[in-house]
Each structure stands twice: as C-alpha cells, then as structure tokens.
Chain A
Amino acid sequence: MTEPILSIQELNKNFGGVVATKDFSLDIYKNQIVGLIGPNGAGKTTIFNILTGIYQPTSGSVKFMGEDMIGLKPFQIAQSGIARTFQTIRLFKQLSALENVIIACHQDCTYNVFSAVTRLGKFKSIEKAVRDRAHELLEIVGLHDDAYRIAGDLPYGYQRRLEIARALAIHPRLLLLDEPAAGMNSEESNDLCKFVFDLHEKFDLTIFMIEHHMDVVIKLCDVVTVLNFGQTICRGTSDQVTCDPRVIEAYLGEEMK
C-alpha cells in the first residue's frame, strides 16, 4: 500500500469563538482527483487556506510527501509542490497573460542579481528558456493567441485557464482548485472537465478541488468528501455521496415527509 501524497490529520481551526474546521482528516493518494463539497460557509476554503499556509490551524497536522507543512509560510508550501487557484481570480490583472505565466516561472530563473543587472552570464539564455516555456504553457491551456492580452481584459473562462496555467508553471505535484467552474454554464463546465482531466494526465497531477457544480464533481472526482459546518459528514465515491441522506439534508434541508 503506497503512502498518501497528502495526509491531513485531525485538523481544527477556530476563529475566536467560531469553529470553522473540526477534526478534518483526509488522505489523498497520487494521481487521485479528490473533491471537497458542501454548502456555502461549510469551511472548504478554510481548509485550502490552512493547506497553503495562509491560516495556521488551531491543532492538527498536514504532511505532504512525508514533510510537515504546518508552520511553513505560503511561499515555502508553494515551493514544495502544492499549487492553488483562488475562488476570486487573483491574476496579475495589469500585466499580460504571458507575463503572468513568466512570473510564475521564477524558480527556473536561476541567475543572480549581478547577472540580472549586467545581463552577463546565464541571464539571456535562461530568460529565453523561461519565455518559451511560458508560451508552451499558454498553448497547452489554449491561450496561445491571447498571450499578449492584458490579463484583466480576458473573458472570465480564459482568466480561469490562465490562473491554472500559472499554477502549473511552478511544477506542482498537487494542485488545489478552488471552485474552478464557478460562474460557468453547463457547456463551459463540460469543457472544463475535459480540460482538467487532460492536464491531470499530461502533468501527472494529483488534484484536490472544491466545487459546487455537481456534474463536474461527478465527472472528475474519484473520491468526494462532504463538509457541513466545518465537519466531515460523508465520504465516498460521487455516486455514494450524492445518494447519502445526510448530504441531501445538508444541501436541501430536512427531507420533506
């Protein structure tokens, strides 16, 4: 039995008197696509924020590829191989799509300050390689023609793709997607499913996603965890979960007798 790539144990988070997360545990294995669903305010993004170091948990542990992630700063967690997208798109809006991805390739820019200022040494070759890679990534997400458009001017669906391209640029092993299908209609979310699945194959990714669109969850996710008021109320395959009465009650309220 292989080790889980991400192991969350007994995660708790309190904000003052409010319990946002209670005893959350989850193991995610390599190449799985895991879904996290639940009504609004259930604490899903809180968990993502803890995983990426934005919040410190009140108690509990997170191990990624065997390494402890609690206490690390967000940039360190990103450098370890966990990438994320945000619920509200946080692109570098004033910069072009290409620049957004180039910035994300900063870890590949291994030249030092002296080289950057004088342009001697490895600067030029590294910059070119990074630029090429950024173009490649944009092509993979289907934004090749929009490389020079200002990110803030792109249509919403394209912005989402750009955010994902940017996340892919940091060579992640685990990709956290926070409501990737938000604001999309059924056709667009269909495209998104295919898109995410292709990336999953191509980049050998493990994906953990928060989503409200049940059709996306059903199509993509191997395993689904359901959260309500910060607690896990159900876990299983999409079929199991969607039929579970507790889940139905959480979303729709008590079943009408």
Chain B
Amino acid sequence: MAGYYEGLFILVGINIIAVLGVSILTGFTRLFSFGNAGFMAIGAYTGAILSKELNTPLVISIIGGMIMAGFIAFLLGKITLGLKGDYFLIATLGFGESIRVIIENMQSVTGGARGYSGIPMKTNIWVVIISVVIAVWIAWNLLHSKIGRNFQAIREQEMAADAIGIDSAKYKNYAFVISAMFAAWAGVLFAHYFSFIVPIMFNLVKSSEMTITVVIGGLGSLTGSIIATTILTLLPELARAAAEYRMLAYGVAVVLIVTLRPSGLMGYREFSFKKTVAWIKNVFNRKKTSSPEEEENA
C-alpha cells in the first residue's frame, strides 16, 4: 500500500468525487438522499467484478460501474422522485440498505457478507488526481450551464421553474443519475485501492456523512463541498490519538454548525481569487459594491 500521506490523499480524492455528486443533488437541486452509498457499492462491485473476472482496464471498470449505477438510479428516480422531501429521503434510505442486503445475499457473485477480495490495486495517487480534476471539471461545467441553472431553479422555486417551462421531473432525474454516477466512480476507485470490499463499507452512515458534508460545506457551493470533504476526511486521521472522542466531536460540530452557521463554510458562494481580493479591498475601503466579476462565476 502507498505511504501514509499518499493514502490519505487518495482517500480525500475518492471522497471528493462521491461528495461532488451529492453536492449537485442536494446542494444545487435540494434533493436529500440517504442512498448514495448504495450507488457507491454498485459501482465498486461492478467495477471490481469487471476488473477481476474480465481483466478490464481501470477506465472500463469505472465506466462500467458508472453505467450500472446510472441506469439503476434512472429507474429508481422514475419511481421515487415524485415523492415529497421526507418520503423521497426514506425511499432512498431504503434503497441504500436494500442494495447492501442484496449484495450480501448474492454470495456466488459478490462474496456476500464476507466481502469480495483480490481486486487489482490499480488506484494510485495519479489516478486519483486525474479523476478528481476531471470530476471537478465536469461538475463545474455542468453547473454553469443550462443544466445546472435548471437544477438551481428547481431548488429555489420548483413551481416557478415549471411555470417557465423547465421539466422539473426530468431534471431531478438528471441530478439523481449524475450523483449516482459520481458515487459509482468513487466506489470503483475505492475498490481498486483497498483491494477488498465488504457491503458494510457502504452503509447508511456513509450516505448520511456525505449529506452532512455537503451541508457543512454550504449548500450550493462546490468549493464548499470540496473543502468540507477534505477537512472531514483528514481531521479524524490527524486526531487519531483521541479516536473515540473524534466521533463525539464530529457530532457536536455538526450540531454547532447547523445551529450557528447554517449556511455552512461557503454559504451559497464559490471560492474565487477575484472575489477574495475584492473582499479584502472592501474591508480596507469599507465600501460595499457589487461587481461585474460576479457575473463570471454565474
């Protein structure tokens, strides 16, 4: 296995890819899902089986995993996206847990509850770096186009979005499928790093952690999600000594952030050099201006 810091880096990268998907779904379209770990599992197992049984190159395994997850998400979305908030949430929760149970019961194919081993270790730091860069690039471009804008319209005022001709059912499904594919991508990389996967790795705790990460980073901010993922992945590792206390601190931190700073780390905004410089200038000039530079980030 790679060195300790390399391993951390890889873990952060994998988590970022998965969280990007949840960010698009929850932060930008306001759909709360507790089933995305299920899509990670689908990706992980599909990719792992492809690699181990058919000796496919990593890229093919990733694509295979993503297609499988995307397809299942599409079907699930058709059934459940008409449900209101909490109902949709429980449906996705049920889905995530069901996937786990199904995998556990398909011993011959997946190794069941004992896990699937012998996955070729193809995930190294370069694979992760390239993946993260591509994933962020895709997510950013998607969000700064008609598609991303439609997501946000649905988030802000679904009824008004309908009234201006946006097919909200279709776009919600897009967001759901995209988030599933990102989760699957992360899952394949995960499987090819640890070489051994077990259904319990992709449980409700993982799903809810991803949602919490997006909330902490700020709903509607990709950079917020990335920063939050990095912090939340690294912190427990760095505070290894007080292992038992870290989850306790995590729980308390979640409550504190949601009560005291609900807009999260970045609020609705993205990080930009221009804006940071402008903000610093503002602080010195004590004048409030709105700048056309904001347009470039729209």
Residues of A within 8 A of B (CB): 52-54, 73-75, 78-79, 83-84, 86, 90-96, 98-99, 102-104, 106-107, 109, 111, 113, 116-119, 123, 127, 148-149, 166-167, 169-170
Contacts and interface: CB of A to CB of B under 8 A. Distances in A.
Given A78-B164, A103-B164, A86 B159 contact: yes
9 contacts: A74-B163, A78-B165, A91-B160, A95-B152, A109-B145, A113-B147, A117-B141, A117-B142, A169-B164
Contact of A170 (B141, B145, B164, B292): B164
Contact of A83 (B142, B145, B164, B168): B164
A148 B295 contact: yes
Given A75-B167, A103-B149, A123-B145, A94 B160 contact: no
Interface in B120-159: 138, 141-142, 145-147, 149-150, 152-153, 156-157, 159
Question: Could you tell me the dominant secondary structure of chain B's interface residues?
Answer: helix
A123 B298 CA distance: 15
Given A52-B163, A75-B165, A83-B164, A93 B156 contact: yes
A74 B157 contact: no
Contact of B163 (A83, A106, A109, A127): A83
B292 A92 contact: no
A119 B162 CA distance: 27
B161 to A, nearest CB: 8
B159 A104 contact: no
Interface residues of B, number: 31
A116 B141 contact: yes
B162 A75 contact: yes
Interface string B55-98: 00000000000000000000000000000000000000000000
B276 interface: no
A118 B141 contact: yes
Interface in B150-207: 150, 152-153, 156-157, 159-169
B61 to A, nearest CB: 21
Given A104-B164, A148-B290, A170-B165, A99 B145 contact: no
Nearest 3 Cβ contacts at the A-B interface: A116-B145, A78-B165, A109-B146
Contact of A96 (B150, B157, B294): B294
Contacts of B166: 75, 103, 106
Most buried by B among A78, A79, A111: A78
Nearest to B178: A113
A90 B153 contact: no
